[in-house]
A and B are shown apart, each in its own frame.
Chain A
């Protein structure tokens, strides 16, 4: 992967996709030592690592990865509000992962088949993301079609995050994708999985989060600032230090 800074026109796109991966990776990292079963310690860390790897490549296209991760403030992060949502219970984490991984797989699939600047990166990442989606899909099925309690929790997780899904299909400057197709494919894919999991596709608004301010524009939800405070604290406490 060529890590020389991309043309300025592509920087907003690299930042948006990179921030998505960085922030979700951080949230998944919070699970370490708390997972419901040891296999999930491994799986969640694995997904977090893949995402962190993607984030590092994307941010490096824009500038210094650590400066971008540790020295920007909340209003200049471009990630989706979905990925900054707190982990909640395992069902909520899985719902977030299903929504996002499906989006990422479809988006990177489109980018990989094109000839844009992100095609090589997308071609590599789409393999990782397909695994993430598969993992989320299997857990959606197990939780949705498991016990009454898991069914209820999974449905609540899906419902609670639904309002953050509309934002995913707002075109990102510099990302050459068919956004309408992306949205249609996403609805079909997620709808099928939820159906097989005996869950109901939420029918609440998907644009509420957008109207309230979109992550892509640097408008975030309250938990995000606290997450950044924790993430950036040490780096910011030692200006100019090498780690």
Chain B
């Protein structure tokens, strides 16, 4: 228990509220500094709790909304093997959403409350899912680039200071890496296929490259939550650091795929030992975040609709559970 020391310090004393809080805070800071995990019953600053709820909810929402662009192709998958892979992937995403809502619930919120915030637009999901999947190759580009960016972001979260989140990320990252390899293999098959398939793969990469780079969030000097999240060890690296790491990994992969990346400024920088890349269109990023991306309206409408049209099913499950003493679905 990270803050057991604080409990011992104050138990049975007449210390005032402020003094107790200061002791708790000191113990919390010590625990975080020592890379201990904060667990649900430990004392934590209100702002740490709120910040985690915000981040974990947004993460869970992204898994759920993220099912849509890929599910869009389940009924049109061009081979039974690909169809099985895609179904399994979308199922995994629903599972990731469930883990993350459960992890968020350890902080005193509920899935219902979080879904309500998603549906009413008070909580966000990753901007990437507001882009449309226009061809089958998009399924591969999402696997390779979007899941690749997600993994780059999420692997450090396996060491996040909040225990339930860190443990959820360990499980999720294993499945995500698998999805990413599948996406890469899908694109490789297309790239080496007919000229039409190769063109389809290139077009998908051209459309998904920049939105994937935006997944790392605003540049460091504009990132509102970054400094505090890093101090709390929720985050381990800055947005720009992770974005650079992703570019450095993706460029040789694109070469191996036989596909190009849509950035004329992309080149190896011998001095830095990293790739230089062109400027991101932050106006587009902000526009999508504001709700004006290509699919914002469609995504949230479908989610709300599924929820509203399913209300009678959930009501039935509760009514049945009440009658028969069964746990509600």
Residues of A within 8 A of B193 (CB): 241-243
Proximity bits, A20-36, B CB within 8 Å = 1, else 0? 00100010011011111
- Given contacts A32-B90, A241-B193, whether A147 and B312 have CB atoms under 8 Å apart is yes
Contact between B313 and A41, CB atoms less than 8 A apart: no
User: A146: which of B189, B196, B316 is its contact (CB, 8 Å)?
Assistant: B316
Contact between A45 and B315, CB atoms less than 8 A apart: no
Q: Number of A interface residues at 8 Å Cβ cutoff, please give it.
A: 49
CB within 8 Å of B: which of A122-177? Answer: 141-143, 145-147, 149-150, 153
Residues of B within 8 A of A35 (CB): 306, 310
The answer, yes or no, to whether B289 is at the interface (CB within 8 Å) is no
Instruction: Classify chain B's interface size.
Output: 35 or more
A233, B75: Cα distance in complex, Å = 10
Contact between B76 and A36, CB atoms less than 8 A apart: no
Contact between A234 and B312, CB atoms less than 8 A apart: no
Contact between A49 and B313, CB atoms less than 8 A apart: no
Q: How far is the CB of B316 from chain A (nearest CB, A)?
A: 3
User: B98: which of A42, A146, A147 is its contact (CB, 8 Å)?
Assistant: A42
- Given contacts A49-B84, A65-B80, A234-B136, whether A33 and B312 have CB atoms under 8 Å apart is no
The answer, yes or no, to whether A115 is at the interface (CB within 8 Å) is no
The answer, yes or no, to whether B87 is at the interface (CB within 8 Å) is yes
Chain B residue nearest to A89 in the complex (CB): B309
Proximity bits, B90-123, A CB within 8 Å = 1, else 0? 1100110110010000000001000000000000
29 interchain pairs (CB within 8 A)? A29-B74, A33-B71, A33-B306, A36-B307, A38-B101, A39-B98, A39-B329, A45-B87, A45-B90, A46-B91, A49-B91, A52-B80, A52-B84, A55-B80, A66-B80, A90-B310, A141-B320, A143-B320, A146-B315, A147-B312, A150-B315, A150-B319, A234-B76, A241-B78, A241-B193, A241-B196, A242-B193, A243-B136, A243-B193
Which residues in A have some Cβ–Cβ distance to B below 8 Å? 22, 26, 29-30, 32-42, 45-46, 48-49, 52-53, 55-56, 59, 65-66, 69-70, 89-90, 141-143, 145-147, 149-150, 153, 230-231, 233-235, 238, 240-243
